[in-house]
Copies of this chain bind each other. A is one copy, B any other.
Amino acid sequence: MAKIDAARRAEIGREKRARTRAQILEAGTMLLAEKPPEALTVDAIVEAAGVAKGTFYYHFQNIEELAAAVGSKLGESFDDLLTAARLELPDPIARLSFAFTQFLEKATSDPAWARLVLQSAQAPTEFARGIRAHLKADLTEAIDQGRLSVRDVELAADIVLGIWLQVVRGSLERRTVSDLSDLALGAVLRALGASQPRMEIVSDRVGRSSRTTT
């Protein structure tokens, strides 16, 4: 009868709810960067988030669901690093090189993010499969153009991902060289047997500077 409406009520708490959920998500993100989900406890999460235990279960069914939400957020952060320039690069090898470099520089500048990515790369989650699918699309296109001496797309993806992941691990454990991105990318392209893309394009967009191209 009254205008008191479920939709309105739901809207009321939304901001508070969203804030609390974000706290839990952030705590989960931090903890999942340190240890695998199987080793994570609800008590640890709620303590880190500064909320009561019941609150966790009000927002998530279980830890698995939280981990999925963290994975999803991580996937978005990957997209964010690409969306601006990805479509402007018609060359698959240039695209791949750009992505490789972007991700690597993000990893060296944000160790917590890097740790989370490494943990997430362990199990083939939705997030990990998405990344690999994108990569394979670029690689397939390059192979179809006869640009790679590696013909098997799965092997090619393993090469790119393998070098990337291990270089990121190295950057967390050791002091990182200044031109790590260029060196690692060079290794990847040699490994793939990539015929040179037009380097001026790649280095224009991929170079260490973050200015947008004109």
Give chain A's interface residues, CB within 8 Å of chain B: 35-36, 38-39, 122, 124, 150, 152, 154-155, 157-159, 161-167, 169-170, 173-174, 177, 180, 183-184, 187-188, 190-193
Contacts and interface: CB of A to CB of B under 8 A. Distances in A.
A205 B122 CA distance: 33
Contacts of A187: 150, 155, 159, 191-193
Contacts of A165: 162, 165-166
Contact of A155 (B177, B190, B192): B177
A159 B163 contact: yes
B154 A158 contact: no
Which 7 pairs show the lowest CB-CB distances between chains A and B?
A: A162-B166, A38-B39, A191-B191, A162-B162, A187-B191, A158-B166, A162-B163
A152 B183 contact: yes
A3 to B, nearest CB: 51
A197 to B, nearest CB: 16
Contacts of A166: 158-159, 161-162, 165
A184 B163 CA distance: 12
A183 B170 CA distance: 25
Between A124, A159, A161, A193, the greatest number of chain B beta carbons within 10 A of the residue's beta carbon is seen for A159
18 contacts: A39-B39, A124-B173, A152-B177, A152-B183, A155-B167, A155-B177, A155-B187, A157-B170, A158-B170, A159-B163, A159-B184, A159-B187, A162-B164, A162-B167, A165-B165, A188-B191, A190-B193, A191-B191
Contacts of A184: 155, 158-159
Contacts of A167: 155, 158-159, 162
Contacts of A180: 155
